[in-house]
Amino acid sequence: MYNEFILFLGTENIESTSKFYRNILNMPLYKDQKGICKIFSISNESKIGFCSHMPVTFKEKSPIITLIIDDVDKMYRELLDKDIEIKEPPQYNETFNIYHFFLEDPNGYTIEVQKFLD
């Protein structure tokens, strides 16, 4: 079986991306690969990395970086307190039985904060 998971995405500004994931989303820096790629811990087994040598690639809402948490409303309030723009408050999605909201990171990637309700 696999030990960990890392998703790598491109960035045009590694420093603003690093500040966003460290200071806004409170993800600790797991590894700095010579300033070219920075990897952040989502959990012990899940990481997300951003690399300046890769292009920023997205279309509309794809890809979606989904962060699963217990208290969606608390995270929503914390992000608003940090002056992060969120277009809509958390809402129930009947189709997927989730409670969630969306925001964008400095690269334009869609971040979804959600809780599974089943």
Q: What is the rounded end-to-end Cα distance, in angstroms, of the chain? A: 26
Amino acid residing at 48: I
What global pTM score does this model have? 0.91
To the nearest whole number, what is the mean pLDDT of the chain? 95
Cβ atoms within 10 Å, residue 51: 17
pLDDT value of residue 49: 97
CA separation, residue 84 to residues 10, 28, 99 (Å) = 21, 19, 19
Domains of the chain: 5-116 (3.10.180.10)
Amino acid, single-letter form, for residue 77: R
Nearest Cα residue to 66 out of 48, 85, 87:
48
The tokens of 18 are what? 């690093």
Q: Per residue of the chain (118 residues), what is the pLDDT tens digit?
A: 888 999 999 999 999 999 999 999 999 999 999 999 999 999 999 999 999 999 999 888 789 999 999 999 999 999 999 999 998 999 999 999 999 999 999 999 999 999 999 9
Beta bridge partners of 59: 62
